[in-house]
Structure 1
Amino acid sequence: MASKVPTPLAAMNRRLLTLSLETHPSAFTIMTWNTLAQVLVKRELFPYCTKGELKLKTRLHRLFDEVRHYRPSILCLQEVDRENWSTRWGPFLTELDYQWRYYGARDKRHGCCIAWRATDWHCLDYRRVDLDRTQVLANYEPAEVNVAQVVALVRRTDLPTPLATATTPGAEPEDPGHPNAFTSDVAWRSDRSVPVGARALVVSNCHLYWHPQGVFTRLVQGLAVRQAVAEVNAVLGNRLPVVMAGDFNTLPDDPLYAVLHGHPLTPEITATLLTSIAQDPRLRTLQFDPERQRYLCSPTTPGPDGQSELPLASLLPVEQQRDLVAALWATTARTPPVTSAYRHYRRLDPAHYVPLDPAERGEAVDIQYFYNEGTWSGEPRFSVYTEFCGLLDYLFVGSPAPVRDQGSGLRVQALLSLPPESRLLPALPNLTFGSDHLSLMAVLDFDSNPAP
């Protein structure tokens, strides 16, 4: 059984693993982290945790410690409680000299936050994205409510004239029409012009659909995020490098990972997506409406237990399912691929891939590992360490250029290592790590000479 004595973060053996020997003063850090919303914390989901480990006060202390310890230049958070934002998270980030935007889905009590150091970056543009209202295909209506954020940032030192930073002590409503949207700077206005020669980028932050069978829905949502990124980039001249961060709830052998990397549609991917359409509870009423000429999910009738009465499989004929999958995949030609910043992790930290001795792990938690060495292409074994153990969080780096080999405009210089598995026992969260997800962080630099 793991010790219940908190271990300082500095002793957790998380190191910056260097990919490039070159160092540049313009390099910056970017972190993504699902912080586990307190509204989602239930004892039955974390039976191995003590009450103290699950208390909000205990967890917030650890979460704040970790952000303060690494203090990334750009920070992307998911599953942040809305009710704790104005009184805890917002003031904490402002105290650390971050500017930030918070946005949550209209039917959820948690949301996403994207933050940047006020001394490092100036915000050129920002957009809230409702993934269920983003049309990836003109004739398909998304079924699940999730949100994303997209921000365009420019190096403050590259601005022609100094700009004052403005933050509020707490959290102000960003828009009275959006009760789940908050900002650190109510006076901010978009400035959709990038100074000549300035170092700038577009960053997205998302939290996608969680259901294990929701592969198809996550594909639609991931494409919607990428579409929103492309739209912001187009307004700015379509020349900025891109980082797509967040909890994608996607394993490296899932279709969304493949499509973001520009892989072709294969029979295996098609079969996976058809299975998802048949088994995802949100899609079991999916039909093609001939009058509206749209694929959509029809309303369901509540049963005696208050739950919707759903058919056992999709109502959509298989041929129409195939047509829908093919049409979605065809949209991928609109925007260039991205690559995972952690895709070379295996050569940097081979010890991470050595399974923990069962005797050391014990029998307190029956952990199901989802690592697939043959198809994960050097990715870490996990970013989530609960009874489910797998990689769901990513930092994807990409270019606005339509040519695959033109280069991303960003170089990955270093990666924050994953802690030794022995430090995570029996599972997360614990008194050192306040979430069931581990933070991922990369050191990036602008590439002034992209590959031809």
Structure 2
Amino acid sequence: MGAAASTTASRLAFRPAGVAPLPPGAAPPLVVVTWNILCNKYAGSQFSYCPPQFLAWQHRKQRCVETLLELRPDIVCLQEVERPFFENELEPLFQQHGYEALYYSRRRRPHDPPDAPEEGISLLYRTARLEKQASKAMQLGKGVARGMTGKFWGAVRARDDGVLLALLRDRVTRRTLLAGCTHLYWDPRFPDIKAAQAALVCRAATAFLRQQRLVHDATLQRDAAAIPLVIAGDFNSLPFKRRSDAFDTVRPNETLISGAYTVLASKEGIDSSHPDHPSRRSLVGGGGAAQALATLRLSSDPFLLQSASVAAWGREPPVTNKTDSFAGCLDYVWLSRQHWAVSAALPLPYRFDPSRPGQQAAVNDPSDVRDLPPLPSETIPSDHLPLAFKLHLVPT
């Protein structure tokens, strides 16, 4: 696969963003991109609205690569990357452009065609800016503590969704940071599993950091939250719902913030009062396991996180994933709040008015987005949009 020059430079130009100004002494920017690229085996009849020549993987993979190279990212987090594409095309090509790549794959699904390959996540980093000190690929279910038993935790363990973690040294600032890529469970019937997985991502990051002898400072070994963190991916969770649907009931004039989003965006996380808490869902089971779930709190502890979209635009975008049957925000870049500032973002390909504090934005809901067709399309090669930000490490 060649890397032809992109003709989309103007479309991919970053624009200034950031609710707050850059603090004095902020480091030069690191460009971070996350994108679910829609692997070939999932691009089936449900995308029949897309002309076949634009749905074809040969076309789409070329557009994906052109877009990524045009953005010149320092860190890339990709989801739905098929193993043959990674091993034979993506990794060799990006090595030529100065990147190293990590990969974690999920097992083939029972309904996959016989010749369908595994797919998974990939984390790439630009070696001219970042030096790898350590890395780990982890199945999230393996992070469930041994004492956690019952139907719910059995379901979490059975999932093979994972996280890639890379401890990186910034050659410019000489600071160490942790980058992560993940892809949470897709099924909207099980927001409790997604909330648990969101907490397990943070638990995996904490355990990984505390295992690293390269983190010499004793304070950092005790306090994983002292390391700058960026975790990106497809979290398969809306930030909120304003209307009831087949999966959730939302009271009139109220907003339901999803469990996974609350786990990551708030310091407190969720307890049994949240509708997405495991104790409120169908996998509770009975006996002592149910009692233990009732007292369970899921959180991002010890990390205090902020969405890069919120830092850039004051809110999450209405849409990062759009088909002819769904539209919503599922993709995020999560930052340790005290370590990062955002100066620029890749514009979204639809009308989207950033929301400044105290101001009402014109486009608030996925249904308000009328100038973006179902995806993929001729110009956008996945059903997801890439999110890209210029991030700056700030003085501590």
Is TM more than 0.5 here?
yes
Q: 1:429 to 1:318 in 2, by over 3 A?
A: farther
Question: Are residues 1:379 and 2:380 paired?
Answer: no
Alignment partner of 1:39 out of 17, 29, 41 = 41
Q: How big is the shift at 1:243? A: 0.8
Aligned match of 2:343? 413
Question: Are residues 1:80 and 2:59 paired?
Answer: no
Alignment partner of 1:155 out of 162, 170, 173 = 170
Q: How does 1:165-184 map to 2 (within 5 A)?
A: none
Q: How big is the shift at 1:15? A: 3.6
Contact kept in structure 2, 1:144 and 1:217, CA below 8 Å? no
- State the secondary structure of the residue aligned to 2:44: coil
Aligned match of 1:369? none
Q: How big is the shift at 1:440? A: 0.7
Q: How big is the shift at 1:58? A: 0.5
Aligned match of 1:131? 140
Q: 1:87 to 1:266 in 2, by over 3 A?
A: closer
Aligned match of 1:118? 127
Question: Are residues 1:200 and 2:171 paired?
Answer: no
Contact kept in structure 2, 1:122 and 1:156, CA below 8 Å? yes
Could you give the per-residue CA deviations for residues 319-355 of structure 1, whole angstroms, max 9, x where no partner exists? 95464153243xx3841321111114545xxxxxxxx
Question: Are residues 1:343 and 2:318 paired?
Answer: no
Q: 1:325 to 1:441 in 2, by over 3 A?
A: farther
Aligned match of 2:393? 446
Contact kept in structure 1, 2:104 and 2:164, CA below 8 Å? yes
Could you give the per-residue CA deviations for residues 58-90 of structure 1, whole angstroms, max 9, x where no partner exists? 101110110011021111111011122222111
Q: 1:327 to 1:276 in 2, by over 3 A?
A: closer
Q: 1:244 to 1:25 in 2, by over 3 A?
A: closer
Contact kept in structure 2, 1:14 and 1:419, CA below 8 Å? no
Q: How big is the shift at 1:439? A: 0.7
Q: How big is the shift at 1:11? A: 4.4
Could you give the per-residue CA deviations for residues 282-333 of structure 1, whole angstroms, max 9, x where no partner exists? x4xxxxxxxxxxxxxxxxxxxxxxxxxxxxxx6x14995464153243xx38
The amino acid that maps onto 2:270 is L
- State the secondary structure of the residue aligned to 1:9: coil
Aligned match of 1:98? 99
Contact kept in structure 2, 1:412 and 1:442, CA below 8 Å? yes
Alignment partner of 2:190 out of 195, 199, 214 = 214
Q: How does 1:224-373 map to 2 (within 5 A)?
A: 224-234=200-210, 235=212, 236=215, 237=221, 238=224, 239-252=226-239, 253-260=257-264, 261-265=266-270, 269=274, 271-273=275-277, 277-278=281-282, 283=283, 316-317=285-286, 321=290, 323-329=292-298, 332=299, 334-346=301-313
Contact kept in structure 2, 1:31 and 1:441, CA below 8 Å? yes
Aligned partners of 1:33 and 1:434: how far apart in 2? 11
Contact kept in structure 2, 1:220 and 1:328, CA below 8 Å? no
Number of residues paired by the alignment? Answer: 327
Contact kept in structure 2, 1:202 and 1:240, CA below 8 Å? yes
Q: How big is the shift at 1:26? A: 2.4
Give RMSD over aligned pairs: 2.6
Q: How big is the shift at 1:25? A: 5.6
The amino acid that maps onto 1:113 is S
Q: 1:107 to 1:432 in 2, by over 3 A?
A: same
- State the secondary structure of the residue aligned to 2:338: coil
Contact kept in structure 2, 1:136 and 1:220, CA below 8 Å? no
Aligned partners of 1:30 and 1:12: how far apart in 2? 17
- State the secondary structure of the residue aligned to 2:383: coil
Contact kept in structure 2, 1:18 and 1:415, CA below 8 Å? yes
Aligned partners of 1:107 and 1:276: how far apart in 2? 30
The amino acid that maps onto 2:121 is C
Contact kept in structure 2, 1:340 and 1:397, CA below 8 Å? yes
Q: How big is the shift at 1:277? A: 3.0
- State the secondary structure of the residue aligned to 2:295: helix
The amino acid that maps onto 1:85 is F
Aligned partners of 1:146 and 1:117: how far apart in 2? 25
Q: 1:86 to 1:333 in 2, by over 3 A?
A: closer
Q: 1:424 to 1:136 in 2, by over 3 A?
A: farther
Between the aligned residues of both structures, percent identity stands at 25
TM-score (norm 1): 0.67
Aligned partners of 2:63 and 2:11: how far apart in 1? 13
Contact kept in structure 1, 2:50 and 2:377, CA below 8 Å? yes
Contact kept in structure 2, 1:9 and 1:432, CA below 8 Å? no
Aligned match of 2:327? 389
Aligned partners of 1:201 and 1:145: how far apart in 2? 26
Could you give the per-residue CA deviations for residues 387-430 of structure 1, whole angstroms, max 9, x where no partner exists? 211111111111xxxxxxxx522222222221126896431111
Aligned match of 1:170? none
Aligned match of 2:71? 70
Q: How big is the shift at 1:268? A: 5.0
Q: How big is the shift at 1:24? A: 5.2
Give ranges in structure 2 of 5+ residues lacking alignment: 1-5, 110-117, 216-220, 240-256, 352-368
Contact kept in structure 1, 2:312 and 2:343, CA below 8 Å? no
- State the secondary structure of the residue aligned to 1:10: coil
The amino acid that maps onto 2:267 is G
TM-score (norm 2): 0.75
| Moved >6 Å (runs of 4+) | none
